[in-house]
Amino acid sequence: MSATTEIRRPVPPDIRARKGGTPLVVLTAYTTPVARLVDPHCDIVLVGDSVGMVLHGLPSTLHVTMEMMVLHGQAVARGLSRAMMVIDMPFGSYEESPDQAFRNAARLMSETGAAAVKLEGGEHMAGTIAFLTRRGIPVMGHVGLTPQAVNTLGGYRVQGRGEDADRIRRDAAAVVEAGAFAVVLEKVPDALAREITGAVAVPTIGIGASADCDGQVLVVDDMLGLFTAFRPKFVKRYAELGQEADRAIAAYAAEVRARTFPAPEHVFGEEPVRK
């Protein structure tokens, strides 16, 4: 392939067609540099509303605005050339009515170039998902632990244990029937995630679910170990960049205080006199 050959990026029907195939690789990104890092390795890059907690220091995703999602979506889009971009609809931007959801989803897609939106909720959001998909808005569903409903759920707890499993089954079936091209299963028991994966016709994307899901998603900052204190059970650390950064910053601070940085090779002399 020549350097000038345009790469065809996947679109939602391509992702749906991956059901039961090679697992889909999904990571979040919120900035252009990180998007460039994950792009060669991912099928989908998610501009998640987790940006509020990861980059803005907010206590939950409930405070994330449309303006924040547009800003970070535009930044991520500038760093992608291979992966498909999906963007989260923030809390309060789609729950009021299907019309509200369409206006905000259309804005996110038109202003960022995202190929699809993701929204949280099961049976109660099925009508909205159907409304969007009939009007050309591809939707990725999200059931199980839905962080925007954390106050209703009583915290970031595993969902679908015991009798509650049937609720998750109904939610997954409802969003798929409504037209979602894929569905995130977050923090549900392994066996339930496997059962749902086998039952629905679209790919399931697991996070704290099962290796038998059709794909996996993690917050990139978590899997890179940028936050040393945050270690949820479902995150594997593939690096410890937070510790590396701490050591590097400490070394810089020590050299500045000792006046060993900048060294002679880091400063500039006088311009040579031209004769």
Q: Which residues are identified as catalytic?
A: 186
Distance CA 193, CA 85 (A): 24
Q: What type of residue is 12?
A: P
Please state, in angstroms and rounded to a whole number, the distance separating the CA atoms of residues 31 and 26.
Answer: 16
Token pair recorded at residue 84: 């498909």
Encoded tokens for 227: 């936050």
Looking up tokens 């206590």, which residue turns up? 59
Q: Which residue has the tokens 């409304």?
A: 131
Q: Spell out the long-range contacts of 222-231 with Cβ–Cβ below 8 A and sequence spacing 24 or more.
A: 223/27
Tell the burial category of 270 from Cβ atoms under 10 Å away from its Cβ (0-12, 13-18, 19+): exposed
Binding residues for 3-methyl-2-oxobutanoate: 49-50, 88, 118
Backbone angles phi, psi at 185, to 5 degrees: -110, 110
Q: Which residues are annotated as a binding site?
A: 49-50, 88, 118, 120
| 3-state SS record for 127-187 | HHHHHHHHCCCCEEEEEECCHHHHHHHCCCCCCCCHHHHHHHHHHHHHHHHCCCCEEEEEC
> What distance in Å separates the CA atoms of residue 67 and residue 14, rounded to the nearest whole number?
29
> Six-digit token pair at 188?
């549900």
